[in-house]
Structure 1
């Protein structure tokens, strides 16, 4: 029975993806509120604002080619191409629907080049250190590296990173992670996060999956 319900749920997501294809374009950014895990909680505690929706992940839509997909950097696989239905299925839910918002660059001229650049990073490992560089990439860092002006300047803004919660404390997840890595918490180093990226003026919202 449980397997049947899972199958039905995935089938409904696939149907929904097909219905929304006209709305979703290759190169759109999919901002995701992830399911409640220790890592997503630590991310939203440090980067979120008061409100119903805080994003902990972002990926790049790739439409067509048999199945719509998402270019993304994940903790388990690094930079990979994920079927859209799978991406939506692992999102948090709002009234039973994926907590995902699709956004698009207002100036679409460089999107094709950005997607090609993102594809060139396939296979790059996940950046648990959250430090600048292309050898490893976290989710919004993949977007930051891929979306650039003609002169090579990143379109999105890198800001001093904050890993602390609103009360100034460091979530235990970050303390444990950087202790295991044997590294200092990169507090204040330039970086990006999905919440800040979603608020950039160069983006416009095109669709909500909920």
Structure 2
């Protein structure tokens, strides 16, 4: 009899624990996506920009230097009816949208769109943006944040696609010296990359610059 009560108690505990996990997961999923993930992802259009918080040592330095929670971004393109994030990692590549979201901290992301996208981003313009993007596909990731087409980093990739594909400057470029370089974690990355020859006058654009652009509006924010 005691064994039966003991076994019943264990089963009850496991069932309660399992229900708690299910509820927690459901609540987390609802916070991000609503009742179904595709409901929120359907709002994302081609040409939208998407931002997330990555967790590498370099990404932490980017967040600190730019005083922002964002450390990575990409642009949404549609290929054969499926949404991809075109991003500068190693190498520049197309990543399925749902997969890209899982790479960010807690799956959080923000999506922005050109304020007058319906007028400016017609099919002809989007085609030019896609075509220019393909010239950068498979390029190496730019660890040194140089303003050249030989290699690319994430926000540079988006800025150039809009500039060269649509003739739109999303935001003014900055110089490396304009960012917060005094933090020891940032200085450690700079020393690792450049030694004592930091290119302070190099043109730079950060994910936060694109996200806060005056000509875009926020479509989704799951933070």
Q: TM-score, normalised by structure 2?
A: 0.72
The structure whose residues are more often helix, as a share, is 2
Larger Rg: 2
Check if 1:101 corresponds to 2:114: no
Aligned partner (choices 103, 121, 126) of residue 90 of structure 1: 103
**2:194 corresponds to:** 178
Number of residue pairs the alignment of both structures matches: 187
Matches within 5 A, 1:58-207: 58-63=73-78, 65-74=80-89, 77-93=90-106, 98-108=107-117, 109-110=120-121, 112=126, 113-148=128-163, 152=167, 154-162=169-177, 165=180, 167=182, 169=184, 170-179=186-195, 184-207=197-220
Aligned partner (choices 38, 41, 45) of residue 64 of structure 2: 45
1:167 Cα deviation after fit: 4.2
For the aligned residue pairs, the C-alpha RMSD in angstroms reads: 2.9
1:89 Cα deviation after fit: 0.6
Q: Is the 8 A contact 1:39 1:173 kept in 2?
A: yes
Change in CA separation of 1:17 and 1:142 when aligned onto 2, cut-off 3 Å: farther
**2:45 corresponds to:** 25
1:148 Cα deviation after fit: 2.1
Change in CA separation of 1:82 and 1:34 when aligned onto 2, cut-off 3 Å: same
1:83 Cα deviation after fit: 1.1
1:118 Cα deviation after fit: 1.9
Partner of 2:133, secondary structure, is helix
User: Which runs of structure 1 show a deviation greater than 3 angstroms over 4 or more consecutive aligned residues?
Assistant: 12-17, 149-155, 162-170
Q: Is the 8 A contact 2:181 2:187 kept in 1?
A: no
Distance in 2, matches of 1:135 and 1:176, equals 21
Unaligned runs of 5+ in 1: 1-8
